Amino acid sequence: MYKFLKKTKKGGWMSLGGILLCITGSEAMFADLGHFSYAAIQIAFTFLVYPALILAYMGQAAYLSQHHDNTNHIGFYISVPEKLRIPVLIIAILASVVGSQAIISGTFSIINQSQSLSCFPRVKVVHTSDKIHGQIYVPEINWMLMILCVAVTIGFRDTKHMGNASGLAVMTVMLVTTCLTSLVIILCWHKPPIVALSFLLFFGSIELLYFSASLTKFTEGAWLPILLALFLMTIMFVWHYATIKKYEFDLHNKVSLEWLLALGSSLGIARVPGIGLVFTDLTSGIPANFSRFVTNLPAFHRVLVFVCVKSVPVPYVPPVERYLVGRVGPPAHRSYRCIVRYGYRDVHQDVDSFETELVARLADFINYDWHRTNGTCSFPEDNASLSNESPTEYRLAVIGTVSFSGMPAYEVEENVQPASVSGGFPTVDSVTDVIEMEPVGVAERRVRFGADDEPATPSPAGMDLQLQGELEDLLSAQQAGTAFIIGHSHVQAKQGSSVLKRLALNFGYNFLRRNCRGADVALKVPPVSLLEVGMVYIV
């Protein structure tokens, strides 16, 4: 330590911030915790990284002990023997690539977690592994990091300034990590507060000493990480604040199911042919943008489906477990709720495939609900979940996992030439009723309903007329066309808000929302079938 504490020719003490350069880079490998196991990093650090660092610093110290008269012009490569400079240069380049990869991977993980917590604008996240959830790639962030690296290199043009910026960034990360670890000791490990306080005082005092030394280089490049941190914190705070306010507005202004069921011809509300798919983030209740749509245009589709698309932290969701379907109101209202679950490696279907499969799952649910209501079959309770939102919010069933004898299947197929499509039970041998529908200008569709040889509730036509009518309405609505109704929000600060809040919401959040990635649903819907309902959120 004498060499570091020795007075320089200018009469000042050497900054302790320079010692930080000895550990910057070696800690970058711990950013790979999301990609490698804890034991693998321990072994690599103990038997490879640490010995290499010790040998490198011992070599520099030996060179300095022999050439201490001219320390102002001694660099790392001067201390390397001339025959080994090219190999050492190649190793240094490879090490910088590995270190930058670790930092980039850590940035991807942080951005992904922040986005899951609604603390960062939506960006595209590509999962590169089917088995490890942490292996991701974010194209937008990758390009931004490249641009920032080039800009910093061109702007500073000095390794000393870049070293000061790196030292302050690393020291700040260590200090923040120590403070958060003290909270983990109390909240997660349930240790006494005195243990957390001792940990914070011991390690925090050392790190605070080096942090203060790094701040002395603020005007010599250390200002850059602080500026970037303030910029990113502002973006994250604005996005999180506006997202929370929007969600609270939706919760407080969502429409009750009784209001939807009360809409009828007596109020001038018309039911037009077709299927209306209303996309919403709510899993219960009616979104406020749909009530705004009905209020200004008193009509909605004959078959109404509230669709909620959810991403779950598993690679794949089996098709039989993808759809949760339930009723909204009585069967006569023809309104349903569907929760669609996708894994992070699932390929989202195109609109035509999604529409066809959704209609098929609705038909399966109608059959399931009819048999459950009439008591013709028994179902395990683990295949369904109840919603306590309202007595008119019915059971959500995982369509595809319900397997029982006596459940009729429903299948629709579309061809250019007239054709007939039949569906039946997996174990049914007889077909008792055929209903043909031949709309003008549309290829013929034929639906065949199957029933057991000895139905539990016999009827003259071989099946319940209510079930038959509901399936007919679903088929005719599909033939009439499907409209995808998606909310288009605009956030505005309420009157009397502060200038800072108006700037954050009216300009900051709306700018981010317009220029960042939109919802996955909207990106896959063709414009001819898309209906955006604009709504102003006053928060």
Q: Is residue 451 part of a domain?
A: yes
CA-based R_g, the chain, Å:
32
Structure confidence at residue 25 as a pLDDT band (50, 70, 90) = low
Q: Which of 73, 104, 120 is the last residue of a domain?
A: 120
Structure tokens at 110: 């942080």
Residue with tokens 């200090």: 175
Q: Is residue 133 part of a domain?
A: no
Average pLDDT, stretch 30-58?
79
For residue 184, give the amino acid letter: V
Cα of 468 vs its chain's centroid, Å: 40
Q: Is residue 310 part of a domain?
A: yes
User: In this structure, are 279 and 402 located in the same domain?
Assistant: yes
For residue 504, give the amino acid letter: A
Q: Tens digits of per-residue pLDDT, 100-152?
A: 887 888 888 889 888 888 889 988 888 887 777 778 889 999 999 999 989 99
Q: Is residue 207 part of a domain?
A: no
Q: Which of 120, 138, 172 is the last residue of a domain?
A: 120
User: In this structure, are 370 and 294 located in the same domain?
Assistant: yes
What CA–CA distances, in Å, run from 30 to 44, 106, 111? 11, 9, 17
Examine the pLDDT at 430 and tell me if it is beyond 50: no
User: In this structure, are 332 and 246 located in the same domain?
Assistant: no
User: In this structure, are 497 and 468 located in the same domain?
Assistant: no
10 Å CB burial of residue 405 (0-12, 13-18, 19+) is exposed
Residues β-bridged to residue 255: 286
Q: Is residue 361 part of a domain?
A: yes
User: In this structure, are 429 and 453 located in the same domain?
Assistant: yes
Examine the pLDDT at 284 and tell me if it is beyond 80: no
User: In this structure, are 454 and 492 located in the same domain?
Assistant: no
Average pLDDT, stretch 488-515?
87
User: In this structure, are 505 and 432 located in the same domain?
Assistant: no
464 SS3 class? coil
User: In this structure, are 500 and 468 located in the same domain?
Assistant: no
The whole-number pLDDT of residue 393 equals 54
User: In this structure, are 413 and 499 located in the same domain?
Assistant: no
Domain extent, residue 499, equals 242-251+485-538
The whole-number pLDDT of residue 313 equals 78
10 Å CB burial of residue 32 (0-12, 13-18, 19+) is buried
User: In this structure, are 417 and 313 located in the same domain?
Assistant: yes
Question: What's the pTM?
Answer: 0.69
448 SS3 class? strand
Average pLDDT, stretch 251-271?
71
User: In this structure, are 442 and 526 located in the same domain?
Assistant: no
Spell out the residues 6+ positions from residue 444 whose beta carbon is closer than 8 angstroms to its own: 418, 419, 420, 436, 438
Bin 99: left if φ > 0, else alpha if -120 < ψ < 50, else beta.
alpha
CA dist., res. 361 & res. 104, Å (int): 42
Q: Is residue 531 part of a domain?
A: yes
Structure tokens at 527: 């414009």
Average confidence score pLDDT of the chain: 75
301 SS3 class? strand
Least confident of 117-131, 135-149, 171-185, 512-526: 512-526
User: Could you tell me if 234 and 41 are in contact, meaning their C-beta atoms sit under 8 angstroms apart?
Assistant: no
Average pLDDT, stretch 470-489?
86
CA dist., res. 118 & res. 2, Å (int): 50
Structure confidence at residue 369 as a pLDDT band (50, 70, 90) = confident
Residue with tokens 């641009």: 147
Q: Is residue 281 part of a domain?
A: yes
- Order of strands across the sheet with 270-279? 384-385, 393-399, 323-328, 335-343, 299-312, 270-279, 482-492, 530-538
Average pLDDT, stretch 82-92?
87
Structure tokens at 353: 């495939």
User: In this structure, are 448 and 394 located in the same domain?
Assistant: yes
The whole-number pLDDT of residue 42 equals 84
Q: Is residue 162 part of a domain?
A: no
Q: Which of 120, 137, 162 is the last residue of a domain?
A: 120
The whole-number pLDDT of residue 141 equals 92
Domain count of the fold of the chain? 3
CA dist., res. 367 & res. 365, Å (int): 5
Examine the pLDDT at 509 and tell me if it is beyond 50: yes
CA dist., res. 480 & res. 13, Å (int): 82
Structure confidence at residue 221 as a pLDDT band (50, 70, 90) = confident
